[in-house]
Amino acid sequence: MSLQLGDTAPDFTAETTEGKINFYDFLGDNWGVIFSHPADYTPVCTTELGRTAQLQKEFDKRGVKVIAVSVDPLDKHHGWKNDINQTQNCNVEFPIIADEDRKVANLYGMIHPNASTTATVRSLFIIGPDKKIKLTLTYPASTGRNFNEVLRVIDSLQLTSKHTVSTPADWKNDEDVIIPPALSREEAEKKFSKGIREVNSYLRYTPHPELS
Ligand code: BEZ
């Protein structure tokens, strides 16, 4: 069965472009993103890894460790990494796992046999400091992911792990958040001193809890 939200992220040790890595040691107490792409030296994957490298500071700011997976060998990864840096004007600092034996791909269910029996699809998992899976994304080979969306989701996951709030559609990290319907009006008034905007009994907003 595929990994689901709340499951423990499987640990592994693997060869990467940054040397041998144990996944849990690599993560430490941080948040993590592990994502697969179908193959080295392919166009969409080149833009995806380049975009991730361009956003490295944004991941760092949020305390998120990033690691990529592909079933290609290490020497191929190194050559391709140079291409990514050159063509995408970036510096790939995160490790790329050389998963030739598909150990990691199989642990995370990144091969979808009806899409391809050999290549990984574009899987992405966000993992919390408790090593639980907080979010999964699966895209086909033909569609590159939106890494700004990945950052947006991380903002929501991190905020909602600290405060009793939810975030609405298309939310950005300076906007109002939603008060869960389970909180009574009295409880909400006590908890959210910045104020409550009530649209109806179950749709209530309050200002972002961490911004003044
Ligand atoms: C790409 O990255 O462009 C790609 C990789 C595998 C299949 C199709 C597209």
- pLDDT for 102-129, tens place per residue? 999 999 999 999 999 999 999 999 999 9
Task: State residue 139's pLDDT score.
Answer: 98
Amino acid at 212: S
What CATH code is carried by the domain that includes residue 53?
Answer: 3.40.30.10
Task: State residue 15's pLDDT score.
Answer: 98
Residue the block writes with tokens 């291409």? 83
Amino acid at 8: T
Task: State residue 212's pLDDT score.
Answer: 82
Q: Looking at the predicted structure, is the pLDDT value of residue 1 above 90?
A: no
CA of 43 to the centre of ligand 1 (A): 6
CA of 23 to the centre of ligand 1 (A): 26
Judge if 198 and 110 occupy the same domain.
no
The mean pLDDT of 131-159, rounded to a whole number, is: 98
Count the domains in the chain. 2
Judge if 23 and 114 occupy the same domain.
yes
Residue nearest to atom 7 of ligand 1 (CA): 141
Task: Assess contact for 162 and 58: CB atoms under 8 A.
Answer: no
Judge if 58 and 127 occupy the same domain.
yes
Judge if 97 and 56 occupy the same domain.
yes
CA of 184 to the centre of ligand 1 (A): 50
Name the residue among 212, 209, 205, 210 with its Cα closest to residue 179: 205
pLDDT digits (tens, 9 = 90+) for 39-82: 999 999 999 999 999 999 999 999 999 999 999 999 999 999 99
Full residue range of the structural domain in which residue 191 is found: 163-206
Judge if 171 and 83 occupy the same domain.
no
Q: Is 115 in the pocket of ligand 1 (CB under 6 A)?
A: no
Q: Is 116 in the pocket of ligand 1 (CB under 6 A)?
A: no
What is Dmax (Cα atoms) for the chain? 61
- Whether 150 maps to a domain, the answer reads no
Beta pairing, strands 133-139 & 122-127? antiparallel
Backbone angles phi, psi at 180, to 5 degrees: -60, 140
What CATH code is carried by the domain that includes residue 193?
Answer: 3.30.1020.10
Judge if 171 and 121 occupy the same domain.
no
Rounded distance between C-alpha atoms, residue 46 and residue 84, angstroms: 6
DSSP 44-82: HHHHHHHHHHHTHHHHHHTTEEEEEEESS-HHHHHHHHH
Kindly list the catalytic residues: 45
Q: Is 38 in the pocket of ligand 1 (CB under 6 A)?
A: yes
pLDDT digits (tens, 9 = 90+) for 162-195: 999 999 999 999 999 999 999 999 999 999 999 9
Judge if 201 and 125 occupy the same domain.
no
- Whether 197 maps to a domain, the answer reads yes
Give the burial string for 160-194 (b: 16+ CB within 10 Å, else e).
beeeebebeeebebeebbbbeeebeeeebeeebee
Judge if 115 and 202 occupy the same domain.
no
Tell me the average pLDDT of the chain: 97
